[in-house]
Amino acid sequence: AELRAHLARRRMSNRALARQLGTTPAWIDRRLNGTTAISTDDLEMIGNALGMTPMQLLSGITHSGANPQ
């Protein structure tokens, strides 16, 4: 759920993230809907694409380090 929220805040589609990661929208969809578990490698790769750490992705912390309000 947090990953979806981060994408929404950036107005980034699954397709745009997939393009940035060099993967397919289906790859992103499977991880967002829980069909495929997100690995630590996936989190790091997605975090890098969004300019965030894996911990920030999981915790809901924004770029600035402040919790969203």
Identity of residue 21: L
- Residue 5: pLDDT band (50, 70, 90) is confident
Is residue 46 within 8 Å of 58, Cβ to Cβ? no
The rounded distance, in Å, linking the Cα atoms of 69 and 59 is: 13
Residue pointed to by tokens 């969203």? 68
Measured CA angle at 20 (ends 18, 56), to 5 deg: 85
- Residue 3: pLDDT band (50, 70, 90) is confident
39 token code pair: 């690995």
pLDDT for 56 beyond 50 = yes
- The pTM (predicted TM-score) of the whole model is 0.76
Question: What pLDDT is stored for residue 18 in this prediction?
Answer: 96
